[in-house]
Structure 1
Amino acid sequence: MSDSLRTLLIDDEPLARLELRRLLKTHPQIEIVGEAGTLNAARALLADTPFDLVFLDIQLRGGSGFDLLDRIPPHAHIVFVTAYDRYAVRAFEVNALDYLLKPVTSARLASSLQRVLAAPTSAADDTTAAAAMPLLPDDRVLVKTSDATRFVPVQSIVSVTSNENYTELQLADAQKLMTLRTLKSWEACLPTAFFVRIHRQTLINLAHVRAIVRGEGESVQFQFDDPLPPLSASRRRVSDLKQRLEAAGLTQLLP
């Protein structure tokens, strides 16, 4: 990254962008390289303009700032701007992300920029952005892949499988996301009432289990809704998980 942060302002209120531009003038490390006030204009701006930092409003004409996350590369920093949506603010807090409440003050902006400048610039170890507090089933977790950043509802995660320093998320809609984050990090932040380890390399969400059937030898298979593939575990592991299965109301599925 260069000495200055190439910065985009995305907000559907012209006066809000003007005020943010005024406040940023006192920060020489910031170079504003573009602005947008609608969802379509923001998409074009994000596609055509190299940037390191984006101030992203949540409410935009034509949609939500969340709709743009898949257009923001993993190396770029995001500071969300909101007029206070409790659900959105919770998402930012549990993912250790920064956000500004309107009206933005100079002191709060300065604090946010300090945090941005101190943040890692590598494309993406999601472990460094691990949740600031344990996630709840209704939360959304920020996931960075090799080419995009997005919020994923915790309840949509079916399984998390380790692949060395990476993990693969299997989502309920059959999508798979590979992210640079360890299984241990996921296990520490996902809701323990639902997510259990069925294998040294695999966590599953009990809310998505539809059946537990005998497999080959001493193995059993956790089955999910089609077209998701089953996942195997040892019968001993299932026995160790009996209390967790009882709490989830799944003992009737035991083979």
Structure 2
Amino acid sequence: MKALIIDDEPLLRAELRRMLGAYPALEIVGEAADAESGLECIHRLRPDLLFLDVQMPEKSGLDLLAALETLPLVIFVTAHDRHAMRAFDFGATDYLLKPVNEARLRVAVMRAFAALDTGSGHSSDAAEPHSEEDGTIAADRASVEPLAEDQCVLLRDGDQTYFVPVKTIQSIEACGSYARVHLGDRRPLIPRSLNFLEQRLPAQLFFRVSRNAIVNIREVTKIEPWFSGGLRATLRNGSTFDLSRRQAKLFRDSMTL
């Protein structure tokens, strides 16, 4: 995959290039410091992927994309999350906040390779970074790329769009073929199954308490014995969820040293 870095900060470009050096299947074909030179590089180098800053002098990264007839994959890299809504209107592959975290960068890169694979049919195994810890990558990696708990997600509910940190999700309940996401006073309904969301959400933060619900374990404030060897979990917002004996055992096991 050919990638182009477009950012007005030289140090950021250098650091990003250094971190991306861990991915042998990702070739950095060029850099640009502003939208005008970035546009010229895109036409000349034909990259598959852009690492693009949103806010730059004179013209923004969004202005650059608006000038393109065909969009490559785009990972936005910026210090300002207020641009997220417009960024995702352009079909961004991912959105990284500065300073870039290597773990989050890996998630974004893997997502870009997966998006490219969808069109090419090639395997993305070569996208994995080379390191002494390669053997720790699970051989049976799920087809759904898990989110990191410090990652933000875009939730659309009718005409409303929410951009929220994963860790602020309190619970999720099944509503037919949809899922109701509880975010304090907001409860967007999204077209996702709980099975999909269980794979997508970070396992260290979310637990499937029943067929119909997933909870954020950091929101649990009280656990008490319930009928037939089960448990009742009470969340910070006062909502309660009943766990069967089987789920209660799994919950205890996951919470015990």
Quick one: which of 218, 235, 239 aligns to 1:230? 239
Residue 88 of structure 2 is aligned to residue 69 of structure 1:
no
Preserved contact between residue 73 and residue 149 of structure 1 (Cα < 8 Å): no
Aligned to 2:216: 205
Aligned to 2:163: 150
TM-superposed deviation, 1:26? 5.2
Preserved contact between residue 145 and residue 180 of structure 1 (Cα < 8 Å): no
Task: Output the amino acid matched with 2:242.
Answer: A
Q: Distance in 2 between matches of 1:243 and 1:117?
A: 35
Instruction: Point out the more displaced range, 211-220 or 138-147.
Output: 211-220
TM-score by length of 1: 0.54
Q: Distance in 1 between matches of 2:171 and 2:222?
A: 15
Q: Distance in 2 between matches of 1:241 and 1:211?
A: 13
Aligned to 1:19: 37
Aligned to 2:175: 163
Question: Which consecutive unaligned segments of at least 5 residues does structure 1 have?
Answer: 1-9, 29-34, 99-111, 120-129, 251-255
Cα 1:135–1:71 shift into 2, 3 Å? closer
Preserved contact between residue 222 and residue 233 of structure 2 (Cα < 8 Å): yes
TM-superposed deviation, 1:213? 4.4
Preserved contact between residue 143 and residue 149 of structure 1 (Cα < 8 Å): yes
TM-superposed deviation, 1:249? 4.6
Aligned residue pair count: 199
Quick one: which of 49, 67, 92 aligns to 2:108? 92
Preserved contact between residue 7 and residue 33 of structure 2 (Cα < 8 Å): no
Preserved contact between residue 222 and residue 231 of structure 1 (Cα < 8 Å): yes
Aligned to 1:58: 77
TM-superposed deviation, 1:135? 3.9
Q: Distance in 1 between matches of 2:104 and 2:54?
A: 21
Task: Output the amino acid matched with 1:16.
Answer: D
TM-score by length of 2: 0.54
Task: Output the amino acid matched with 1:158.
Answer: Q
TM-superposed deviation, 1:203? 1.0
TM-superposed deviation, 1:89? 1.0
Aligned to 2:251: 244
Q: Distance in 2 between matches of 1:205 and 1:42?
A: 37
Residue 97 of structure 2 is aligned to residue 78 of structure 1:
no
Percent of pairs identical after alignment?
Answer: 14
Preserved contact between residue 142 and residue 150 of structure 1 (Cα < 8 Å): yes
Q: Distance in 1 between matches of 2:145 and 2:62?
A: 35
CA RMSD in angstroms, aligned pairs only: 5.0
Quick one: which of 195, 206, 213 aligns to 1:195? 206
